[in-house]
Amino acid sequence: MADRSSKGKGRRWPPASQRQFRKRLRRYRDLRSGGRTRRIPRTAVPSFFTLMNLLSGFIAITQAHEGNFDAACWLILLAGFFDALDGMMARLTNGTSLFGVELDSLADAVSFGAAPAFLVWTFGLHNFGMLGLIVSSLPAICGVVRLARFNLQFDGEKKDHFSGLPIPAQALFLAVLVLNFNHPDWFSMPGQENMAILIPIVVLLALLMISSIPFDSIPTPTPAHLRLHPVRSSLFALGGVLIILFAFTSHPHFGFVVVISVYLAVGIGRAVLAFIRDVLNTPIE
């Protein structure tokens, strides 16, 4: 024991070379920052949720490749949850930026474009040869077109509606549809032997994304939004409570299908009524 203490008594820790390196590193950081303290940017919080969205979409692709379709569907739903959080956090923290918009679009292209496209192809559309391959590509192709158009029209302010079906809504609908196809006992939908019904559904959702039909956006729960839209915010809050109660009192897979179907029906029905009204009000020369 005496020998160990005597040997360790003369040691200097940390070594002089390491102390000098740390001093040089601190000096380098001071010169780079101009003596200012570096702060975490506001965009860091929403960007974190955006990257979690991207991670969920990537893992969903891997799970679909392994044949774990339930896991892939739930991961796409999880990506949708992170996508809602990043937009909400960006507005609540005033962290909206062009970088965030571009990062969000790239993440959405993977999680809500490539992931559901690969999911429906591996789940059943691969049985239809070239037709199934082309139809399966539509969520990715039309989704990217939808995102590019949104980026061009984005002016930094959140609007009450989207022009065309949002790409997350399309992906979530396909995910919950595959969930119900995979569990026919929970929902009276065709089993895997009748996958042809997926073809018109995928085509319709893809066309809705690149259409100009207005679909409602999720309101941000900020004081300013509540003052400007008290009725709309109250209706969304009441609808959210009813959806949660419905999900807890019935099969969650079926509940998701009903909720998204109602969302689609409201947007399409409103567009049809507006078209009929405009036609009837058009003067005859």
pLDDT tens readout for residues 201-222? 999 999 999 998 888 776 554 5
Residues across the chain: 285
92-136 pLDDT, tens per residue?
A: 777 677 788 888 999 999 999 999 999 999 998 998 999 999 999
For the chain, the straight-line distance linking the first and the last C-alpha, in angstroms and rounded, comes to 110
The answer to whether residues 17 and 53 touch, using CB atoms and an 8 Å cutoff, is: no
Instruction: Locate the domains of the chain by residue range.
Output: 44-218+250-281
One-letter amino acid for residue 172 of the chain: L
Residues in the chain with pLDDT < 50? 1-2, 4-6, 8, 186-187, 189-190, 221, 231, 233, 248
The answer to whether residues 100 and 45 touch, using CB atoms and an 8 Å cutoff, is: no
Give me the CATH code for the 44-218+250-281 domain, please: 1.20.120.1760
- Report CA 181 to chain centroid distance, whole Å: 22
Q: Give the span between the Cα atoms of 74 and 55, in whole angstroms.
A: 13
